[in-house]
Structure 1
Amino acid sequence: MQRPDPVRAVVFDFDGLLADTEKPWGVAESAMFTTRGLHYGEAERNLFLGAAAADAAAIMADRFGEPRPDVLAEFIARARQELSADSEPMPGAVAMLSGMRVPYAIASNTQRDLLDLSLAASGLDALVPLSVSSSEVAAPKPAPDVYLRACELLGVAPSDAVAVEDSRTGAAAARAAGLAVVMVPSGPYQPGDADLIVNSLADPALAGWLG
């Protein structure tokens, strides 16, 4: 898909893209495994990258042989503790958001209370006028729901908007919603996952796609 001309809005992912929350999420994930004497490595990290907490917990519960509600409750509690202590903006995030010239929003796969916690802990809440979490839609990424809802709230057609993502799960959601997709990968990816792939938020090519 080509870059919209003009770009009328931008929709950003949050975890791992605007805020360095992949580390606290990873700590919570690792603890879920290591406290049970199980290995947590790169394969597990990549498995959960971009996944909603409920989906990640379901995978864990099946692997642990434990009830899904119990595993989800434990996982959320661990994530809440880590996010409140260790959420920082990604390099370039503050400058990029401060310089936006078109309306923008966040479309996150995180549930509302944890998204709000991370926004406040990272200090990005003052720069984010609009956000949609997985709590407000029927299905999380890779379903297109969060992106469709964000575009609806922004008052733009998806085809007039650009999504910025860090994961294959998120990129698939944005593409399914009909947005052009830019990736700043934080894990494995394929060239066809996005219309533009850049190395960081400071990449000049990214600025050219954001209106």
Structure 2
Amino acid sequence: MVESLPAPLLELVRRANEGNKEAIQAIENIARDILDQDDQRFYRVCEKLAPVLLRLEVRKVIESQPRYLPLPPQLSQFERDPVFLAARPVGRFWYRFDMYTLDDEGLEVVRTPRHFSRHAIFHYLDSVVRIPDVELHLEVPLSYRVGELVGWLSALATSQRDDAQAGMVMLSALVAPLLVTPAVHQSQATLPAGRRRAGRK
């Protein structure tokens, strides 16, 4: 999508990705300005700008050097997975995103902190781990889904720590059955005595 942007805007994107503050501000201004455009054009531009703005916001999360909840033992295989690590700040951003909404007139974004029940937390975790859309489920790696949810739960922990910890238990229960367990090769010496005897002629 980004490649179809006009050349000047692509240059802005390139500079913003390099951390140029003026370019970042310019893109944010463009995002605000398109609110005045007609709906069709608005959605076309949003479709192109959304990935760019998401990257910028995620970069802000990374630069803030947030802390993340430790993984339970059942999910320890993800600890060094680069896809998992890259997804954590994305999840943290989505939590922050959930804290904002449009005002009643739909003209201004306002902060409206939310409290998530454990039922709502489980429903969200389940919908991301087991994505209902089959094609999307196959396209998004499990390590990315887990990373995004760990990031989201880590952000939740700032205001609902016990619920976030409970969410990690839920996440582990949802993900563990999806993990591939290496086959256990049993040698003759490690088989139960009864099975060794049964194998004799």
Higher strand share: 1
TM-score normalised by length of structure 2: 0.27
Rg larger in 1 or in 2? 2
Greater per-residue helix proportion: 2
TM-score, normalization by structure 1: 0.26
Does 1 or 2 have the higher relative contact order (CA < 8 Å, sep 6+)? 1
